[in-house]
Amino acid sequence: MFWIILIIILFIVLSLAGGYYVFNSVFLYKDKSKTDPDPDFIDSEKDLMRPTSKRYIEERKPYMKEMEKLQFKELSIISFDNLTLYGYLLRGNPKEVVICVHGYKSSMEEDFCDRLEIYRKRGSTVLLLNDRAHGKSEGDYLGFSEHDKRDVARWVQLINNMYDDPKIYLHGVSMGGATVIHCADMGLKNVAGIIDDCGFNSIVGISKHLIKDIYHLPYFPFGDLAWFWSVIITGISFNTSLGEDCVRNTDIPILFIHGKEDHYVPCSMSENMYEACASPKELLLVDGCGHAAAYLMAKDEYTAAVNRLMDGEFKK
């Protein structure tokens, strides 16, 4: 009996430790240093950004240099849990404001240096966010779209306070795409459209996919235990916001964009949310495109779709 009890205790301890390891590796973000990936890794079978990883890295470089020349105004808010978060405003038409939300362990520069040209050509005011735990923004743990949607709500409030009755558009990439989708049913004032570029539908949905692909572990018990640690440490439950429910309960026009060969966030997530969406909508799927590379792979189609959304041309 003693050995049976000991084995059970060891199993519980090891399972909790494994779940904590998965949670910590996904949610904790203290080392923000950026290094170039190993050339042998890029577009390999282990690279979740394949098959357009190399093109994505190389073709953004001139955009990054161009972005460095722009004059941004630093803004800040205090989050619901008392973190100071930073955003960077590029002034344009005060009646048309785009709030841009970057992806997982990425940055506003990486995800929007290229897409920014759409809004510069329109003359829009653009607010680029640094998510919690990213860039200068405070925090150790990522909001993983769940806390981030509450942060975006505060940025929307700030923009409404700054400008007189603006039309506000939310544009998110990857985790940022999930964030803006999860804002869809929050009743945010003056939000006139949402662009979801390769966002996941829910934390539980993407964690099931990534635990299998990255860690090669079964979701049970490790995913469920990571969920346990997430609730205990960050207060984030994996299934609070489900993308299909958010878009089913909104009248905000939404543009869904996804690469057909995305190995990071399955393309089917955008397809499922598009089918569930009750508001005016469009779906842009890009052939031969991996994660987050749709703008570089289909610039004209991407730009035209964003312009149709912002010009009020979407229909149910």
* pLDDT tens-place string over residues 41-80: 888 888 888 999 999 999 999 999 999 999 999 999 999 9
Indicate the angle between helix axes 219-233 and 2-27, nearest 10 degrees. Answer: 70
Greater pLDDT, 101 or 22: 101
Report the range of poorest mean pLDDT among 6-15, 76-85, 170-179, 307-316: 6-15
Q: Using CA atoms in the order 194, 198, 204, 205, what is the torsion angle rounded to 10 degrees?
A: 120
* Per-residue pLDDT at 36 exceeds 80: no
Mean of the pLDDT values across residues 230-249? 92
Stated as kind and residue range, the H or E segment containing 263 is none
Cβ–Cβ under 8 Å, residues 102 and 291: no
% of residues, the chain, pLDDT over 90: 74
Q: How confident is the model at residue 32 (pLDDT cuts 50, 70, 90)?
A: low
Sole residue written with tokens 């905000």: 252
The pLDDT, as a whole number, for residue 129 is 98
The pLDDT, as a whole number, for residue 108 is 95
The pLDDT, as a whole number, for residue 16 is 79
Domain boundaries, the chain: 1-26+207-236, 52-202+241-310
Buried b (16+ CB within 10 A) or exposed e, 9-39: eeeeeeeeebbbebbeebbebeeeeeeeeee
The pLDDT, as a whole number, for residue 30 is 75
Cβ–Cβ under 8 Å, residues 220 and 250: no
The pLDDT, as a whole number, for residue 8 is 73
* Per-residue pLDDT at 12 exceeds 70: yes
Mean of the pLDDT values across residues 260-277? 96
Sole residue written with tokens 């400008």: 163
Greater pLDDT, 3 or 193: 193
Structure tokens that stand for 78 in this block? 């205090």
The pLDDT, as a whole number, for residue 42 is 85
The pLDDT, as a whole number, for residue 316 is 72
Greater pLDDT, 237 or 112: 112
Beta strands in 121-243 (DSSP E): 124-130, 167-173, 191-197
Cβ–Cβ under 8 Å, residues 227 and 204: yes
Query: Which pLDDT tens digit goes with each residue over 194-214?
Result: 999 999 999 998 988 887 777
Stated as kind and residue range, the H or E segment containing 25 is helix 2-27
Cβ–Cβ under 8 Å, residues 97 and 167: yes
- Residue 289, C-beta contacts closer than 8 angstroms, at least 6 positions apart: 52, 259, 260, 261, 262, 297, 298
The pLDDT, as a whole number, for residue 216 is 73
17: three-class secondary structure by DSSP: helix
Structure tokens that stand for 37 in this block? 């990936």
Kindly list the distances between the CA atom of residue 87 and the CA atoms of 36, 132, 201, 257, 292, in Å, as whole numbers in the listed order: 25, 11, 25, 24, 21
State which fold the 52-202+241-310 domain adopts: Rossmann fold (3.40.50)
CB-based burial label for 8 (10 Å; 0-12, 13-18, 19+): exposed
Alpha helices in 163-298, H assignment, sequence order = 175-182, 203-210, 219-233, 243-248, 267-276, 294-297
Mean of the pLDDT values across residues 175-190? 98
Mean of the pLDDT values across residues 162-168? 97
